[in-house]
Structure formats: C-alpha cells, structure tokens
Amino acid sequence: MNKLKLRQLLEQFFIEDIGERDVSSSIFNGDQIGRLALIAKADGVFCGEEVIRTGFSLLVGELEIEMKVQDGERVEKGQSLAVISGTVADLLQGERVILNLVQRMSGIATKTKEAVSLLNSDHTKICDTRKTTPGLRMLEKYAVRCGGGVNHRIGLYDVVMLKDNHIAFAGSITKAMEAARRNVGHMVKVEVEVETKAQMREAIEAKADVIMFDNRTPEEIKAWLEEVPENIVTEASGGITLTDLASYRETGVDYISLGFLTHSVSALDISAKVTLE
C-alpha cells in the first residue's frame, strides 16, 4: 500500500469529518490521556493496520499503538485488535473515520477469504474488479489481497480491456485489437471480453493477452478452453455468486473476477472502547 497516498486520503477524510474542530471532544482538555481499544464484534478477517497507525499518528501527538493482530489474520468475536494510547480528544476525533475504514476493509478481506475457501482451487485465483468505492480503491484492493485474492487491473490506465461496447464501436474484435496495439506500448496487456465461441476464436487470432469469458457457464468455459493456447490467460466473470462458485473449480480457468467483493460487501462489526488512564 502506498503510504504517501494513504496519508493524503486520511487527511481528506479527517478534514471532511472534523471541519474547523470537533465540538464534542472540546469538553476534554488537551492533557487527558486515555486508551482506545478496538474490539471485534464478529468473526472475520482483519485488515487495516496501516490505517490505524497512520490515521492516529496524524492526530495524536504522544501516541502508543499496540497491534494485537496483523492484516489477513482471522479474528473472533470479542477479540482485541489494537490498543491506542494518547490524548482523549485526539483519540475520539479520529475514531470514527479510522473505524469506518477498518470495518470496510476487514469486511472485504472476510468476504474474499470466504470466496477463496469455497472455490478451494490450487489453480484458479479469485480477483476483484473496478467496482470499488470512489476514493477507496487502493484500500479496497489491498483488502482483497489480505483475504487471499489477487487484484485485477487497478484502473483504466494499466491494462487495455476491450468490452462489448469497445468492440461494437470499433467494428470487431480484430479492429479493436489493432487500434489498441497502435495506441499503447508493448508493456501494456490487452484483455478481450467474449460471449461466443466465434468471438473467442477471433480474440485468439488477434493475439489477445487475456480472454474473459463473460456470463458463460462452467460447462461452456471448460469446453472452450480446449481451444485456448497456454500463453493466453483466461478469466471468468459475470453473475458468479458464492452459491455457484465451486462449480467453476474444474473448468481450468485462470481467474474468476467477483464484483461483489467490493461493491456490496458488509463491513465487519468492530467497536471502540475508551478508558481514562
């Protein structure tokens, strides 16, 4: 995770929440020291250590942080995750922003771990999509990695992905591939989305780096893969849920991308308890 970008994000989030000042925490003087304990209120996978460290360091002068768990570690309901010591007013004004982020990241890590476990494959990997919360993509994709998944493209800038609309506007997969190769360097990979066997064959002929099978059944993917050269990476996407994830285990596809890992995940319930010293 890029620590400079994380710091910048947290500064923006704190400015949004604190504004001119935290009027609630102003009832405390600047010398009162307290301890804030983060406690898991549900079983899951923890993610967000650097958010805790960087976040509180931006607000609290004299700061002590004792992490009880590490990113990617399974936690149980009632387990202590971290204890932060510092001035009470500063702890309280940073609590909600930090807790919101850690809960969301832990929820994503937890859901990803569940997907990886259900798939239970030595070959096929679970990956995310660009269906992330604006402003939180770096954190959410990091959480996917903490849950045992891998990242798909980070944004529009690192991989060419020719979807149905790109292909329709270009006129064909071949024309879209030719235009992509002319406009990007040799270091940029090109992925093509296909819905039919004819499209797959055209993508192979056009020398796509990655072929994505869009909304295809496990049976279709397994059969079609017999024609795909080993040097082409394959991906399954579209409509795949936790319920039917295991049915893709024997297809031989390299990656399964799941948008729900980030776009509709539930936060892991975590509470913050403060005590005076």
Environment class of 264 (CB within 10 Å of its CB; exposed 0-12, middle 13-18, buried 19+): exposed
The per-residue pLDDT for 114 is 98
Tokens at 192, concatenated: 């093509």
Residue pair 153/123 in contact (Cβ under 8 Å)? The answer is no
Q: Is there a catalytic annotation at residue 131?
A: yes
Q: Is there a catalytic annotation at residue 230?
A: no
The per-residue pLDDT for 61 is 80
Q: In sequence order, what are the beta bridge partners of 82?
A: 38, 67
Annotated catalytic residue within 5, 96, 197, 273: 96
Phi first, then psi, for residue 101 (nearest 5°) are: -70, -45
Annotated catalytic residue within 163, 197, 207, 273: 163
pLDDT averaged over 10-residue windows placed end to end, the chain, 277 residues: 95 95 85 92 98 95 93 97 93 95 98 98 97 97 98 96 95 96 93 97 97 97 97 96 96 98 96 80
Q: In sequence order, what are the beta bridge partners of 192?
A: 162, 211
Domain 116-263: give its CATH code.
Answer: 3.20.20.70
Environment class of 45 (CB within 10 Å of its CB; exposed 0-12, middle 13-18, buried 19+): buried
Strand runs labelled E in 41-130: 44-45, 64-67, 74-75, 80-87, 125-127
Q: Is there a catalytic annotation at residue 164?
A: no
Annotated catalytic residue within 214, 222, 249, 269: 214
Q: What is the spatial distance between Cα 183 and Cα 32, in angstroms, rounded to a whole number?
A: 60
Q: Which amino acid is at 41?
A: K
Q: What is the spatial distance between Cα 99 and Cα 117, in angstroms, rounded to a whole number?
A: 27
Look up residue 211 and give its DSSP letter: E
The per-residue pLDDT for 30 is 75
CA distances from 39 to 48, 84, 271 (A): 13, 12, 5
Q: What is the spatial distance between Cα 233 and Cα 203, in angstroms, rounded to a whole number?
A: 12
Annotated catalytic residue within 71, 114, 193, 235: 193
The per-residue pLDDT for 62 is 83
Q: Where are the domains of the chain?
A: 3-112+265-276, 116-263
Give kind and range of the element (H or E) at residue 7: helix 3-18
Q: Which amino acid is at 122?
A: D
Q: Is there a catalytic annotation at residue 77?
A: no
The per-residue pLDDT for 91 is 92
The per-residue pLDDT for 57 is 95
Residue pair 139/149 in contact (Cβ under 8 Å)? The answer is no
Q: Is there a catalytic annotation at residue 153?
A: no
Annotated catalytic residue within 35, 125, 131, 249: 131
Q: What is the spatial distance between Cα 196 and Cα 214, in angstroms, rounded to a whole number?
A: 9
Best CATH choice for the domain 3-112+265-276 from the list 3.60.10.10, 3.40.50.300, 3.90.1170.20, 3.40.50.2000: 3.90.1170.20
